Amino acid sequence: MSIDFLEPTDFSEAMALLSEYGDDAKVIAGGTSVVLMLQQKLIAPNVLVSLGRIEGWDYVRLEPDGLHIGALTHLRDAERSPVLRQFCPALAYTFSVVGNVRVRNQATLGGNLSAADYAADPPAMLTVLGARARLLGPGGTREVPLSEFFLGFYTTALEPEEILTEVIIPVLPETARAAYFKYTSLSAEGRPCVAIGALADFDSDGKCKDLRIAVGAAVETPQRVESAEALAYGQTLTGELVAAISEEYARTLDTLSDVRGSAWYRKEMIRVFVKRALEEVRDGHR
């Protein structure tokens, strides 16, 4: 194949190339998404703009405003980062269940999010943690909350010449509890049938101060159901309340059908795993 493989050494060079080649170019980082699309001949760019030589953007740093993860961080490094594990063990776990270790050694966080594969793991968890994406474009940098970043199947808020450079996760309250559930219905290394990210905070009486649950993989983009989350505020998470919240999620969300499960099955699994996620954050096993 005569595709030109260009290797800029910094982001502005990369953006200049994207601007020059327009539709003929495709950004590639680890390649775990892009190469599959190339092999399946779903895309046919003339130019690949590789971010592989850009240095200084693979990091995990705790700053006063939260955890900053460089977009070129490999998922395997994120998974193993002591800083990240300290900050949010459930997030480290989320990265650890993506594909398999060979995939994680190649895949980058920026690439994973930019691909916007509905059946991916990080999006649901990062959405529930209130993460923001930093996008660099010809006009400068802007931040987009992840809840507004995923627009549809394989579609994000990235403008044609923008590149995702960093993900910022706001500081979590000391008492916050997080959990991630990846349910695979076929192979254990497969993509999820249902993905649930949960974040909860309780006061000293065990009453819920904050609850966020995002569902992924069963829906087009990660979804929270705020009316269901609101049921928890100021309440103890009794078995009944847990059932009511999970029922509300199952009832509200418009699920999709694919080889990993029908729309009906996904609703059932949303009910089961929202329940399990609530039990997990309530009982704090992690």
Interaction site with another protein (CB under 8 A): 1-2, 23, 26, 36-37, 39-44, 100, 116, 118, 152-155, 183, 185-191, 220, 256-259, 261-262, 265, 268-269, 272, 276
- Grouping H, G, I as helix, E, B as strand and the rest as coil, residue 285 is coil
C-beta closer to another protein: residue 60 or 116: 116
C-beta closer to another protein: residue 87 or 181: 181
From start to end of 217-273, where are the E strands? 223-224
- Grouping H, G, I as helix, E, B as strand and the rest as coil, residue 176 is strand
Tokens standing for residue 248: 């509300």
C-beta closer to another protein: residue 115 or 214: 115
C-beta closer to another protein: residue 13 or 268: 268
Cβ atoms of 107 and 51 within 8 Å: the answer is: no
C-beta closer to another protein: residue 7 or 268: 268
Q: How many Å from the N-terminal Cα to the C-terminal Cα in the chain?
A: 48
Instruction: Please tell me the number of Cα atoms within 13 Å of 122 on its side-chain side.
Output: 31
Residue 182's DSSP bridge partners are: 195
C-beta closer to another protein: residue 1 or 140: 1
Which residues, in sequence order, are CB contacts of 78 under 8 Å at separation 6+?
A: 60, 69, 84, 92, 95, 109
CB of 185 to another protein, least distance (A): 5
Q: What are the C-alpha distances in Å from 107 to residues 98, 111, 214?
A: 9, 7, 23
CB of 30 to another protein, least distance (A): 16
Which residues, in sequence order, are CB contacts of 176 under 8 Å at separation 6+?
A: 199, 200, 201, 210
